[in-house]
Structure 1
Amino acid sequence: MGAQAPGRDVEEVAGQARAALVREIELSGAWNADPVWRDAFAEVPRHLFVPYYFVGVAGGYERRWGESADPAARERWARGAYADTPLATRLRNGELLSSSSQPSLMALMLAELGVRDGDRVLEIGAGTGYNAALLAHRLGDGSLVTSVDLEPDITEAARRHLAAAGYAVSVVTGDGARGVPERAPFDRIIATCGLSVLPRPWLAQCRPGGRILTPFGTGVVVLDVRDARHAEGRFLSTPAYFVPLRGGGPPPEPAPLGGVPTAAREDELFRFLLALTRARLEPREAYALWDREGRPTRERYGVTVSGEHAWAWLDAPEGPYAWPLAGGSAP
Structure 2
Amino acid sequence: MTDLAELHTRAAEALDITEPWVRRAFEAVPRHEFVPGTVWVVDGGVYRPLRRADDPDRWARMVYDPARAMTTQVDDGAPAPAGGDVPTSSISAPTAVVTMLAELDLRPGHGVLEIGAGTGYNAALMAERTGAGRVTTLEIDPDVADGARAALQRAGYGEVTVLEADGEQGWRLGAPYDRLVATASVSSIPWAWVEQVRPGGLILTPFRTAFCSHGLARLTVSDGCAEGRFAGAVTFMTVRGQRARPRIDGLFSTEAWEESRESRADLDVTVLGGAHAEFAVGLRLADVAHWPQDGGHWWCSRDSWAYAADGAVRQWGPRNLADETAQALAWWEGAGRPELFDFGLTVTAEGHRVWLGDPSDAWLPLAVA
Aligned to 2:61: 79
Identity, % of aligned pairs?
A: 39
Distance 2:165 2:367 in 1: 22
Alignment partner of 1:176 is 2:163: no
Alpha carbons of 1:279 and 1:101: their partners in 2 closer, same or farther (altered >3 Å)? closer
Q: Distance in 1 between matches of 2:225 and 2:218?
A: 13
Contact 1:244 1:251 in 2 (8 A): no
CA radius of gyration, larger in: 2
CA contact under 8 A between 2:47 and 2:74: conserved in structure 1?
Answer: no
48-57 or 297-306: which moved more?
Answer: 48-57
Q: Does 1:43 align with 2:28?
A: yes
Q: CA deviation at 1:59?
A: 3.2
Instruction: Compute the displacement of 1:63 (Å).
Output: 2.8
- The residue type equivalent to 2:15 in the other structure is I
Q: Displacement of 1:233 after TM fit? A: 0.6
2:87 aligned residue (84, 96, 107): 96
Question: What residue number does 1:206 align with?
Answer: 197
Determine the structure 1 residue equivalent to 2:230: 235
Aligned-residue Cα RMSD (Å) equals 2.0
Q: Distance in 1 between matches of 2:363 and 2:199?
A: 25
| Structure 1 residue 275, shift from structure 2 partner | 2.3
| Count of residues in Structure 1 that have an aligned counterpart in Structure 2 | 301
Contact 2:281 2:332 in 1 (8 A): no
Contact map agreement 1:196 1:326 (CA 8 A) in 2: no
Give TM-score scaled by structure 2 length: 0.77
What is the aligned partner in structure 2 of residue 269 from structure 1? 276
Deviation at 1:153, TM superposition (A): 1.1
Asked if the contact 1:196/1:252 (under 8 Å) is kept, the reply is no
Partner of 1:5 in structure 2?
none
Secondary structure of 1:36's aligned partner: helix
1:164: how far off?
Answer: 1.2
Matched, 1:222 2:218: yes
SS of the aligned residue for 2:330 comes to helix
Q: CA deviation at 1:261?
A: 1.3
Q: How big is the shift at 1:309? A: 4.1
Q: Could you list the per-position Cα deviations for residues 58-108 of structure 1 after superposition, in whole angstroms to 9, with x for gaps in the alignment? A: 332343333x1x5xx212211211112111110123211101111111101
- The Cα of 1:20 is off from its aligned counterpart by 1.0
CA contact (8 A) 2:116 2:182 kept: yes
Q: For structure 1, which segment, 270-279 or 44-53, has the greater mean C-alpha deviation from structure 2 after superposition?
A: 270-279
Q: 240, 244, 255: which is aligned to 1:246? A: 240
Alignment partners' CA distance in 2, 1:223 and 1:39: 26
Distance 1:279 1:63, change over 3 A: closer
- 1:159 aligned to 2:149? yes
Q: Secondary structure at the match of 1:167?
A: coil
Superposition deviation, residue 214 in structure 1:
0.5
Displacement of 1:161: 1.1
Of 116, 119, 136, the match for 1:125:
116
**Distance in 2 (alpha carbons) for counterparts of 1:65 and 1:224:** 42
Contact residue 191 and residue 348 of structure 2 kept, 8 A: no
Larger strand fraction of residues: 2
CA contact (8 A) 1:124 1:190 kept: yes
Amino acid at match of 1:220: L
Once the two structures are TM-superposed, the CA of residue 298 in structure 1 deviates from its matched residue by: 1.2
Structure 1 residues 230-263: Cα deviation after superposition (integer angstroms, max 9, x where no partner)? 1111111x32111101123624569xxx643121
Q: Is 1:116 aligned with 2:107?
A: yes
Q: Which residue of 2 aligns with 1:322?
A: 363
Deviations 1:32-77 (A, max 9, x none): 2x321101111111111112322223332343333x1x5xx21221
CA separation in 2, counterparts of 1:120 and 1:145?
A: 6
Distance across 2 between alignment mates of 1:136 and 1:288 = 46
Shift of 1:182: 1.3
Q: Distance in 2 between matches of 1:220 and 1:279?
A: 15
State the shift of 1:307 in Å.
4.5
Q: One-letter code of the match for 2:22?
A: W
After TM superposition, the score normalised by the length of structure 1 is: 0.85
Which stretch shows the higher mean deviation, 280-289 or 291-300?
Answer: 280-289
Residue aligned with 1:127, SS: coil
Once the two structures are superposed, what CA deviation does each residue of 1:158-199 show, in whole Å capped at 9, x if it has no partner?
Answer: 111111111121111111111011121110000011111010
SS in 2 for 1:193: coil
